[in-house]
Amino acid sequence: MEPLIEFIKSRRSIRKFLPKKVDPKRIRQLIEAARWAPSAHNSQPWRFLLFDEEEGKKRLAEAMSHAFRNALERDKHPAETIEDQVLKSYRRIQKAPSLILVCLCKEDCRLYPDRHRNRLEEALAHQGIGAAVQNILLLAASLRLGTCWISAPLFCPRAVRKALVIPKNWDPVALIAIGHPKKISKLRTRYRLPKIFMTGRKG
């Protein structure tokens, strides 16, 4: 068995998949891994919605692409750049064999009397969701499945709600595209340790 660190380094974000659906049992395994992630005071703020039907993926891709186009136009990007980026975004969602919408639910998060601590509590919830998503990505890689973590729903939650039926207390924050890899992405460079790490020793 390869060392854990080597396995972690081997994981890639996959954007091209074979036209083959993922076994529902595998999806349940991924969610099982996610629910064992750590979260602040065990609030478990994550919620997951699976959809792999073509109609649902198409609705979501169209709604999110429309929101993305509007944002790019407001930022005054060139027309050709907008068309290229919107098309890539649409295809990434519509062509994924399976999609898991990751949502934040605050029902078990602590409620404080001041705005500042409530914002911090939400930040803690997002940290827990990040840990849950990482569990999914790593287990999927061990099952020889490809994944791509897409944060776009955080920027257009209304568009996501318009396309899908989601409980009112679930706030969309991410998508995970899942499938059998068609092409393995190249390793992207990482900062060297001296740039990102230092000890807290004095003197």
- Per-residue pLDDT at 2: 61
Q: pLDDT, tens digit, for every residue of 24-47?
A: 999 999 999 999 999 999 999 999
Name the band, by pLDDT with cuts 50, 70 and 90, for residue 150: very high
Residue 116 tokens read as: 């500042």
Whole-number Cα distances in Å, 12 to 15, 23, 141, 162? 9, 20, 8, 31
Between these two residues, 3 and 50, which has the higher pLDDT value?
Answer: 50
pTM above 0.85, yes or no: yes
Q: Which residue is listed with tokens 């994981």?
A: 11
Please tell me the distance from the alpha carbon of residue 130 to that of residue 107, in angstroms, as a whole number: 18
Name the band, by pLDDT with cuts 50, 70 and 90, for residue 7: confident
Give the torsion sign (CA, 45, 51, 55, 61). positive
> CA angle 56-58-63, nearest 5°?
100
What is the average pLDDT score of the chain?
94
- Per-residue pLDDT at 203: 59
Q: Is 166 left (phi over 0), alpha (psi -120 to 50) or beta?
A: beta
CATH number of this structure's domain 19-182: 3.40.109.10
Please state, for a pLDDT cut of 90, what percent of the chain lies above it. 85
Is the pLDDT at 1 greater than 60? The verdict is no
Q: pLDDT, tens digit, for every residue of 61-87?
A: 999 999 999 999 999 999 999 999 999
CA 189 vs. chain centroid, Å, equals 21
Q: Is 65 left (phi over 0), alpha (psi -120 to 50) or beta?
A: alpha
Q: What is the total residue count of the chain?
A: 203
